[in-house]
Amino acid sequence: MNIVECRDLSKTYGKHDAIKGISFDIKENTITGLIGRNGAGKTTLLKIMAGYYRNTTGEIKVFENNPFNNITVSANVIFIDDNMTFPSSINLLEILQSASTFYTNWNSQLAFKLLDYFSFNKKQTHQSLSKGMKSTFNMIIGLAARCPLTIFDEPTTGMDASTRKDFYRALLKDYILHPRTIILSSHLLNEMEDILEEVLLLDCGEKLLHMSVDHIKKLAVGLKGKSKDIERAVTNLDIFHKEMIGQNYTYIVVENKLSASQIDDLKLSGVEISPISADETCVYLTAKNKGGIDSVFDKSESI
């Protein structure tokens, strides 16, 4: 069963196309990473899914309904981001107690155990928390709500490394105990790729790929060696990244379609062949210049 179905979905603000005719499905009880650089359209897409924004053209269905202002969708979706606000007249404990009346699957035991684990003062207000602590508290609400569709938009903003690790661990453990459809958006894949089943990669409002993490890990391969040997081997392959190393050596990332004989020839020529992580592949696919930052610095200029 698909929880989210999009067909030729677009969202336009004036003359700016935030989402450009994308189509995809998100299955029930999966963890999907929505990946893309800042400004890729991730938040716009997530807010359309959550029913906050109306799409301009195309079609979207969440739980088989148009999500915009839909009570069925609202009752089954929680959207967590760093802009969440709560009344200053109630403290953290009271916020969690109130949340239990909004969400059918709310688990108070989990919420209070996480509150204690992260050493929150229950009498503090949400407004008095640091940026990282706000993100951590918001995460507690997102997990404890156990909504059938749980959306986290850049959930680890401001968190330190230890807290981010705890968050992903807690999410995975609770997902195993209580499966539901979870979408995590980020511009970084490396920290969470171990818990993801699929990745939806956006770039400038367009869908670049939607596939399993394991598949992405096999998309590209890195080659490092003499420029003449590498250029001869990659003539008919898509190049994702290229940089010069000295005058005669090149490091290049290409689609992983080298034949066994090509690989043998490259190794005999002294070319190093290396795997490319899913995170690196996504970075290279969304790069504006395949030469990376090095392309900014002209060799003729002295720095």
> How does pLDDT run across 158-190, given as a tens digit for each residue?
999 999 999 999 999 999 999 999 999 988 788
Predicted confidence (pLDDT) at residue 93 exceeds the cutoff of 70: yes
Contacts of residue 303, defined as CB under 8 A and 6 or more positions apart, other chains included, come to 297
- Average pLDDT for 8-24: 95
Show which of 195, 216, 237 is a domain's final residue: 216
Asked whether residue 295 is domain-assigned, the answer is no
202 and 263 housed in the same domain: no
Pick the closest to residue 256 from 225, 282, 227, 223 (CA basis): 223
Predicted confidence (pLDDT) at residue 300 exceeds the cutoff of 60: no
Helix (H) or strand (E) holding 12: strand 2-13
Cα 113–chain centre separation = 27
Pick the closest to residue 182 from 196, 194, 165 (CA basis): 196
Pick the closest to residue 139 from 180, 192, 184, 105 (CA basis): 184
Predicted confidence (pLDDT) at residue 19 exceeds the cutoff of 90: yes
- Average pLDDT for 25-30: 97
Asked whether residue 8 is domain-assigned, the answer is yes
Query: What domain range is 41 assigned to?
Result: 2-216
Show which of 172, 199, 216 is a domain's final residue: 216
201 and 107 housed in the same domain: yes
Residue 303 has a pLDDT of 42
Predicted confidence (pLDDT) at residue 45 exceeds the cutoff of 50: yes
252 and 159 housed in the same domain: no
Q: Give the Cα-Cα-Cα angle 183, 45, 284 (nearest 5 degrees).
A: 75
224 and 178 housed in the same domain: no
- Average pLDDT for 69-89: 93
Q: Express as a percent the part of the chain with pLDDT over 70.
A: 96
Quick check: 292 and 243 in contact, CB under 8 A? yes
170 and 31 housed in the same domain: yes
162 and 36 housed in the same domain: yes
- What sign has the CA pseudo-torsion 102, 107, 112, 117? negative
Residue 299 has a pLDDT of 57
Asked whether residue 157 is domain-assigned, the answer is yes
88 and 137 housed in the same domain: yes
Pick the closest to residue 255 from 219, 201, 226, 210 (CA basis): 219
Pick the closest to residue 75 from 97, 106, 119 (CA basis): 106
Residue 240 has a pLDDT of 92
Predicted confidence (pLDDT) at residue 302 exceeds the cutoff of 70: no
Q: Are strands 2-13 and 57-62 parallel, antiparallel or unpaired?
A: antiparallel
Residue 126 has a pLDDT of 96
> How does pLDDT run across 238-257, given as a tens digit for each residue?
999 998 887 889 999 999 99
Predicted confidence (pLDDT) at residue 295 exceeds the cutoff of 90: no
Residue 292's φ and ψ, nearest 5 degrees, are: 70, -165
Asked whether residue 303 is domain-assigned, the answer is no
Give the tokens for residue 94.
Answer: 């009271």
3-state secondary structure of 73: helix
Predicted confidence (pLDDT) at residue 105 exceeds the cutoff of 60: yes
> How does pLDDT run across 199-213, given as a tens digit for each residue?
999 999 999 999 999
Residue identified by tokens 């800042």 is 38
Pick the closest to residue 76 from 137, 151, 129 (CA basis): 151
| 112 burial level (CB within 10 Å; 0-12, 13-18, 19+) | middle
Reported confidence tier of residue 298, pLDDT bands at 50, 70, 90: low
**Domains: count for the chain:** 2
Instruction: Calculate the average pLDDT of the chain.
Output: 92
Residue 79: give its domain's CATH number: 3.40.50.300
- Average pLDDT for 263-271: 88
Residue 297 has a pLDDT of 67
Beta-carbon neighbour count of residue 282 at 10 Å? 26
- Average pLDDT for 57-62: 97
275 and 226 housed in the same domain: yes
